Amino acid sequence: MQHPHQHPSPLKGVVAPVITPFDEALDPDPVRFAEICAWLLRSGCTGLAPFGTTSEANSLSTQERIDLLEAAVKAGVDASRLVPGTGCCSVTETALLSRHAMETGCAGVMTLPPFYYKGASDEGLYRYFASLIERVGDARLKIYLYHIPPIAQVPLSHELVTRLVGDFPEVVVGLKDSSGDWHYTEGLLGKLPGFGAFFGSEERLLATLNAGGAGCISATANVNAAGIRAVWDAWGTPRADSLQASASAVRRAIAHHPLIPAVKYLLAHYLRDPGLVRVRPPLTAFSEEKGRALVETLERDCAFGLEEALS
């Protein structure tokens, strides 16, 4: 079997699953979305994963995802730093979105397993991803598998990932681990040295880097890109541990709450754009009372603040 370090991940570092801004009619706001993408890259993100969980991706239609991605790239966002989420239950939709991402110049795609049928076998999941690769039919395709069993309820076993990497070493180049179980990422990197593994929280950023992984893809990178990037930049220096502790404290304070509404509230507050709190049903927006309490906690206990306003 070829090891993936021979085909390194095009993405490393601190990646934000970008929030999706909605207008008053709860339609996506492509202008605001492009502005937020550009702001996150200026703020310290090395890459962006639009249409992840934090982006409310599965509340968006296929066409809405296509339109938002095109709006961001047309506005000047560097497509080579984007790994949009494309995973749908239908392999045809996943292939359509993945092909579009490659045609747009994206670095790769982040792909959920088909998540409706619970208890899917490794063989069935393998066939889904193999079919996806065949349907896209683009040599540029780079896939980051998205392991999020708490939400999808369809885990990606080490055996399945190892098989996919062995059969498609130039395509299956990474994985986001949002299981919350560090041992999953650690064990995977033990089996696949140099694999482009990202932990789903910055709390394990240094541990992931030390184990040979690629970085983190984290909801809270939407609001603390600079703090998390400081950890990435300091890796291997005496300052790394204290910076990791600071970034982890911010993450823990926010993670006491529903992540998507909390992150959107914080962006609305610090970027002075009240409309950013909007979420699509069935999610509900953060209350002003809870939001003020969270801001107070972050500023008091974590010395938190966002310096640069959204242009």
| Tens digits of residue pLDDT in 264-286 | 999 999 999 999 999 999 999 99
- Cα 284–chain centre separation: 21
- Token pair 């950013």 is found at 276
Q: Please report the pLDDT score of residue 308 as a whole number.
A: 56
Instruction: In the chain, count H helices and then E strands.
Output: 12, 7
pLDDT tens sequence across 12-31: 999 999 999 999 999 999 99
- Report yes or no on 226 lying in a domain: yes
pLDDT tens sequence across 190-216: 999 999 999 999 999 999 999 999 999
- 143 pLDDT band (50/70/90 cuts)? very high
- Predicted confidence (pLDDT) at residue 119 exceeds the cutoff of 70: yes
- Predicted confidence (pLDDT) at residue 6 exceeds the cutoff of 50: no
- Predicted confidence (pLDDT) at residue 260 exceeds the cutoff of 70: yes
- Predicted confidence (pLDDT) at residue 298 exceeds the cutoff of 60: yes
Whether residue 59 contacts residue 99, with contact meaning beta carbons closer than 8 Å, is answered with no
Position 24: which residue type?
A: E
- Report yes or no on 15 lying in a domain: yes
Four-CA torsion 255, 260, 265, 271, nearest 10 degrees: 110
Average pLDDT, the chain: 95
- Report yes or no on 140 lying in a domain: yes
- Token pair 């300052």 is found at 239
- 5 pLDDT band (50/70/90 cuts)? very low
CATH number at residue 76: 3.20.20.70
The tokens describing 30, both together, are 């492509």
DSSP notation for 209-228: HHTT--EEE-TTHHHHHHHH
- Predicted confidence (pLDDT) at residue 128 exceeds the cutoff of 70: yes
In angstroms, rounded to a whole number, what is the distance separating the alpha carbons of residues 180 and 278?
27
Q: 29: which residues sit within 8 A by CB, 6+ positions away?
A: 21, 22, 23, 275
Task: State the residue range of the domain holding 88.
Answer: 4-234
Q: Which long-range contacts (CB under 8 A, 24 or more apart) does 118-124 make?
A: 118/153, 118/154, 120/154, 122/157, 122/159, 122/160, 122/163
Q: Please report the pLDDT score of residue 306 as a whole number.
A: 77
Structurally, how many domains does the chain consist of?
1
Distances (CA, A) of 40 to 147, 171, 175: 24, 27, 21
Strand partners, 16: 48
Strand partners, 176: 146, 198
- Predicted confidence (pLDDT) at residue 8 exceeds the cutoff of 90: no
In angstroms, rounded to a whole number, what is the distance separating the alpha carbons of residues 188 and 159?
9
Burial string for 125-164 (b: 16+ CB within 10 Å, else e) reads beebbbebbeebeeeebbbbbbbbbeebebbbeeebbbbb
Instruction: Work out the number of other CB atoms within 10 angstroms of the CB of residue 120.
Output: 17
Give 146's Cβ-side CA count (13 Å radius). Answer: 25
In angstroms, rounded to a whole number, what is the distance separating the alpha carbons of residues 49 and 144?
10
In angstroms, rounded to a whole number, what is the distance separating the alpha carbons of residues 155 and 288?
36
- Report yes or no on 75 lying in a domain: yes
The tokens describing 85, both together, are 């989420």
When pLDDT is averaged across residues 146-173 and rounded to a whole number, the result is 97
- Report yes or no on 44 lying in a domain: yes
Q: Please report the pLDDT score of residue 307 as a whole number.
A: 63
4, with CB counted inside 10 A (0-12, 13-18, 19+), is: buried
- Report yes or no on 247 lying in a domain: no
- Report yes or no on 197 lying in a domain: yes
Q: Please report the pLDDT score of residue 10 as a whole number.
A: 83
- Report yes or no on 60 lying in a domain: yes
